[in-house]
């Protein structure tokens, strides 16, 4: 047997020369056998450790981009070590990255991030999605949605910074998104809780007539690396609580699928004797999987068959239905998850309140649509396909199947929430028995190595668990969520690492090969504005630093280099508007400085070569040290200066 002999090998290496296994006394200083005895480790534990332990200096093979949930950020994690590599702040301020504390990022966070004119400083990140070329992750961009405030953000993976936030002008809540089409032509964002489009008011008794959902197709400009709002458009949808969404690929490229869970159009109690949405939305046996032909929608948009609501072109529900841009097929009640198979031939939808996952056959649905074979229409005139005629089959997976990911061998891995299991099943051969692996506990999303691409890698699956009860030291009643790394390379699945996620409820994540990243180590040339990718016209060359006063406006052109700021003393008058133009003169790897002004809520990060710009009104008189916040050199503490604000009338 491999396992014991391997252990014996380890043990004998560690205990070379020792005639018998040493007694378990010497802390972790003893041989392997004694450490195992002392720490109560099984052979499986040691094997798991060997599979995940990454010695100092060794790099991980994969990178996870995990949603930070209502932390409003992204967690970047190495696999298999499960070491946290970075948090990328997106919808909320974060001081280390200097995001939201006076620098250029303020425009993204506080201006672009506004919803209906309101400044919002948190987000509920659900589904990060990597940019794709030809259905493969290309390592260029990451998109994510904010369910709470219906926004989508763009992270540039060149420098792992949030470069754009786009506020959805139509809906008040999103969920399905941010999903990309296979060549990242569009970033798709679909609504969740229905409301009158464009932020209008209507009472709840008008739910059916006035409340709507929408699917927004954000056009992505791959050269600029930004969403092009002008060339984006949307499709009006019924108020059915659209849920998860996924784009077709290969043979199904051109389609988007969205599941939904409120065909009942329940809107809670209305203060009368109606049921809560919880049960009101669970009356019907079937909800509707939305099948969207987005290439056809594009032709309607090009032909001008849209109305503009709040600045965005919208295909009406009536037109979408009439033109078969939108068709429906039933899905067993209150579904969740919507995941297209790697070959693009099928889409798997979990049952949530059912024990099955349903495998829809996309070719069958295309055929029904082409032939005009429908069983009826919904209240809004959308044609409905026959359920049995649309599916390849159903597979019993356990209580509460949600999301599904894939490997390279033809297996699907579905998260089963109520059972707390990951279920492995063959989506091509539904007769094959399933394998269920217990996870701790109540798994929501699940992710797999390159799992959403046309060529998944297998190897690893991560269970993203909602509950962690007894897994970690008690840190108070607010428990961390828990990621569990699962080895799927062998004949049976094994949990090989537990990792607490202590900053928000993560939902989805994606796992990409680390060698697909092409991250920069410095901004070149020095003085590059990371938001324009060009050298700033305000960048300063060494020796040309200056302070320019123009009435009550003061511009400071400052260089930043180990270990000083030039100029290092800035004198202004109370009430002056001060703009600091900071240029890092560094190009060396990891030679980052910070720049903080005490008492002024100013703090930016100066990565090598970066240009930063801070504008503020010197409204408090006094003497304010400014200093470098990164321990950059032996003389880091000396990297400081003074902002002197002369009181009025002094
Ligand atoms: S949803 S598990 Cu956005 Cu499934 Cu969270
Ligand atoms: Cu520069 Cu510390």
pLDDT in tens, 71-91: 999 999 999 999 999 999 999
3-state class (DSSP) for residue 222: coil
Looking from the CA of residue 606, the nearest atom of ligand 2 is 1
Give the DSSP H or E segment for 280: helix 277-280
Q: Is the CB of 632 under 6 A from ligand 2?
A: yes
Q: How far is the CA of 623 from the centre of ligand 2 (A)?
A: 21
Asked if residues 427 and 405 have their Cβ atoms less than 8 Å apart, the reply is no
Tokens of 401: 């199947």
Residues counted in the chain? 650
Yes or no: say if 368 and 390 are a contact pair by the CB < 8 Å rule: yes
For residues 6 and 25, what is the distance between their CA atoms, to the nearest angstrom?
24
Measured by CA distance, the residue closest to atom 1 of ligand 2 is 593
The pLDDT of residue 7 = 47
Give me the pLDDT at residue 587, please: 98
Number of the ligand closest to the Cα of 639: 2
Query: How does pLDDT run across 221-235, given as a tens digit for each residue?
Result: 999 999 999 999 999
pLDDT band of 20, cuts 50, 70, 90: very low
Q: Residues 17, 19, 24, 26: is their CA dihedral positive or negative?
A: negative
444 CB within 6 A, ligand 1: yes
Q: Which of 150, 402, 510 to mutate to test the pocket of ligand 1 (most atoms within 8 A of CB)?
A: 402
Burial status of residue 222 (CB atoms within 10 A of its CB: 0-12, 13-18, 19 or more) = middle
Pocket lining: 126 vs ligand 1, CB cutoff 6 Å: yes
Buried (b) or exposed (e) across 356-376, using 16+ Cβ within 10 A? bbbbbbbebbbebbeeeebee
Whether pLDDT at 333 is above 50: yes
Going through 51-104 in order, the beta strands assigned E by DSSP cover: 62-67, 73-79, 84-89
Residue 303 has pLDDT above 90, yes or no: yes
From the CA of 630, which ligand is nearest? 2
State the DSSP string of 570-596. Answer: EEEETT-EEEEEEEE---STT--EEEE
Name the residue among 33, 29, 30, 25 with its Cα closest to residue 9: 33
- Residue 28 — pLDDT band, cuts 50, 70, 90? low
Ligand 2 pocket residue status of 630, Cβ below 6 Å: yes
* pLDDT score for 430: 96
Q: What is the pLDDT of residue 17?
A: 39
Strands (DSSP E) along 488-632, which ranges?
494-501, 509-513, 528-529, 534-535, 546-550, 553-561, 564-566, 569-573, 577-584, 593-597, 602-606, 611-617, 622-627
Give the model's pLDDT for residue 184.
98
- Cα(2)–Cα(400) distance, integer angstroms: 36
pLDDT band for position 268 (50/70/90)? confident
Residues 6+ apart with CB under 8 A from 315: 233, 234, 235, 236, 297, 300, 301, 305, 306, 325
Strands (E), 177-318: 179-180, 186-190, 195-196, 211-221, 226-237, 242-247, 255-260, 286-293, 307-309, 312-315
Q: How far is CA 175 from CA 127, 150, 152, 232, 348, in A?
A: 8, 8, 10, 18, 18
Render pLDDT for 347-366 as a digit per residue (tens, 0 to 9): 999 988 889 999 999 999 99
CB contact at 8 A, 386 and 371: no
In whole angstroms, how far apart are CA 247 and each of 290, 382, 616? 12, 20, 44
Spatial CA neighbour of 592 closest among 531, 558, 639, 535: 639
Taking CA atoms, 511 is separated from 253, 495, 501, in Å, by: 22, 17, 16
Instruction: Give the residue, by CA position, lying nearest to ligand 1 atom 5.
Output: 507
Q: Is 94 helix (H, G, I), strand (E, B) or coil?
A: strand
Distance from C-alpha of 514 to C-alpha of 37, rounded to nearest angstrom: 36
CA distance linking residue 609 with residue 591, whole number of Å: 9
| Ligand closest in space to the Cα of 145 | 1
Q: Is the CB of 352 under 6 A from ligand 1?
A: no
The Cα-based distances of 424 to 111, 256, 407, 488 in angstroms read 45, 25, 10, 9
Percent of the chain exceeding pLDDT 90 equals: 90
| Distance from Cα 530 to the centre of ligand 2, integer Å | 20
Position 75 scores a pLDDT of 98
Q: Report H helices in 40-175.
A: 43-52, 105-106
Are residues 499 and 118 in contact, defined by beta-carbon separation less than 8 angstroms? no
Structure tokens at 239: 């108020």
Closest Cα to atom 2 of ligand 1: 444
Give the per-residue pLDDT at 27. Answer: 52
pLDDT in tens, 518-560: 999 999 999 999 999 999 999 999 999 999 999 999 999 999 9
CA distance 484 to 256: 30
| Model confidence pTM above 0.85 | yes
pLDDT band at 271 (very low <50, low <70, confident <90, very high): low
Share of the chain above pLDDT 70, in %: 95
Task: Tell which residue, 17, 43, 105, 92, has the closest CA to residue 605.
Answer: 105
Cβ 158 under 6 angstroms from ligand 2: no
Determine the pLDDT at residue 354. 86
- Alpha-carbon distance 82 to 459, whole Å? 14
User: How far, in Å, are 54, 80, 81, 537 from residue 58 at the CA level?
Assistant: 6, 11, 10, 40
Ligand 2 contacts CB of residue 446 (under 6 A): no
Residue 122, Cα to own-chain centre: how many angstroms?
A: 14
pLDDT for residue 457 is more than 50: yes
Q: Is the CB of 636 under 6 A from ligand 2?
A: yes
Residue whose CA lies nearest to ligand 1 atom number 1: 507
What mean pLDDT is predicted for residues 106-122?
A: 97
- DSSP category for residue 250: G
Ligand 1 centroid–CA 38 distance in Å is 40
Cα separations in angstroms, 146 against 72, 74, 128: 8, 12, 10
Domains and CATH numbers, the chain: 4-52 (no CATH), 62-516 (2.130.10.10), 528-646 (2.60.40.420)
- In this prediction, residue 565 carries a pLDDT of 98
Q: Within the chain, what is the greatest distance between any pair of CA atoms?
A: 87
């Amino acid at each position: 047997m491999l396992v014991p002999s391997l252990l014996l090998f380890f043990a004998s290496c560690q205990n070379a020369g020792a005639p018998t296994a040493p007694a378990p006394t010497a802390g972790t200083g003893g041989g392997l056998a004694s450490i195992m005895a002392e720490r109560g480790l099984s052979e499986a534990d040691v094997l798991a450790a060997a599979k995940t332990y990454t010695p100092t200096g060794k790099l991980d093979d994969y990178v996870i981009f995990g949603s930070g949930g209502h932390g409003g950020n992204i967690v970047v994690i190495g696999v298999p070590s499960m070491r946290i590599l970075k948090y990328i702040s997106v919808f909320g301020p974060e001081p280390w990255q200097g995001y939201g504390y006076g620098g250029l990022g303020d425009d993204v966070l506080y201006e672009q991030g506004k919803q209906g004119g309101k400044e919002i400083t948190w987000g509920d990140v659900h589904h990060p999605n990597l940019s794709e070329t030809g259905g493969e992750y290309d390592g260029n961009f990451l998109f994510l949605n904010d369910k709470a405030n219906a926004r989508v953000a763009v992270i540039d993976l060149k420098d792992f910074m949030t470069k754009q936030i786009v506020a959805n002008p139509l809906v008040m809540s999103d969920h399905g998104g941010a999903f990309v089409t296979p060549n990242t032509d569009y970033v798709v964002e679909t609504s969740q809780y229905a409301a009158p489009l464009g932020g209008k008011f209507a009472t709840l008794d008008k739910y059916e007539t006035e409340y709507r959902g929408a699917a927004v197709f954000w056009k992505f400009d791959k050269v600029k690396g930004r969403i092009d709002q002008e060339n984006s458009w949307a499709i009006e949808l019924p108020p059915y609580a659209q849920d998860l969404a996924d784009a077709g690929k290969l043979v199904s490229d051109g389609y988007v699928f969205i599941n939904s869970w409120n065909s009942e159009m329940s809107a809670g109690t209305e203060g009368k004797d109606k049921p809560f949405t919880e049960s009101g939305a669970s009356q019907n046996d079937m909800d509707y999987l939305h099948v969207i032909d987005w290439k056809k929608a594009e032709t309607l948009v090009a032909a001008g068959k849209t109305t503009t609501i709040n600045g965005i072109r919208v295909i009406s529900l009536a037109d979408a239905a009439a033109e078969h841009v939108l068709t429906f097929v039933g899905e067993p009640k209150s579904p969740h998850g919507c995941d297209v198979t790697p070959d693009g031939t099928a889409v798997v939808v979990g049952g949530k309140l059912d024990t099955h996952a349903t495998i829809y056959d996309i070719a069958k649905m295309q055929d029904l649509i082409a032939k005009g074979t429908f069983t009826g229409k919904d209240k809004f005139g959308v044609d409905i396909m026959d359920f049995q005629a649309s599916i390849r089959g159903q597979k019993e997976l356990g209580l509460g199947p949600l999301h599904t990911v894939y490997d390279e061998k033809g297996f699907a891995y579905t998260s089963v929430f109520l059972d707390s299991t990951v279920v492995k099943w063959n989506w091509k051969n539904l007769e094959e028995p399933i394998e269920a692996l217990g996870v701790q506990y109540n798994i929501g999303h699940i992710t797999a190595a390159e799992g959403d691409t046309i060529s998944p890698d297998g190897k690893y699956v991560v269970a993203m668990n909602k509950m962690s009860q007894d897994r970690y030291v008690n840190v108070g009643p607010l428990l961390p969520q828990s990621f569990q790394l699962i080895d799927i390379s062998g004949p049976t699945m094994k949990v090989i690492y537990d990792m607490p996620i202590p900053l928000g409820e993560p939902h989805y994540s994606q796992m990409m090969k680390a060698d697909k990243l092409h991250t920069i180590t410095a901004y070149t040339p020095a003085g590059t504005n990371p938001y324009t990718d060009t050298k700033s016209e305000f960048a300063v060359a060494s020796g040309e630093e200056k302070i320019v006063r123009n009435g009550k406006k003061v511009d400071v052109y400052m260089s930043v280099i180990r270990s000083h700021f030039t100029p290092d003393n800035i004198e202004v008058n109370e009430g002056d508007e001060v703009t600091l133009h900071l240029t890092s003169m560094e190009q060396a790897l990891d030679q980052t400085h910070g720049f903080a002004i005490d008492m002024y809520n100013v703090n930016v990060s100066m990565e090598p070569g970066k240009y930063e710009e801070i504008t503020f009104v010197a409204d408090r008189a006094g003497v304010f040290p400014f200093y470098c916040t990164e321990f950059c050199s032996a003389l880091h503490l000396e990297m400081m200066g003074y902002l002197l604000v002369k009181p009025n009338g002094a």
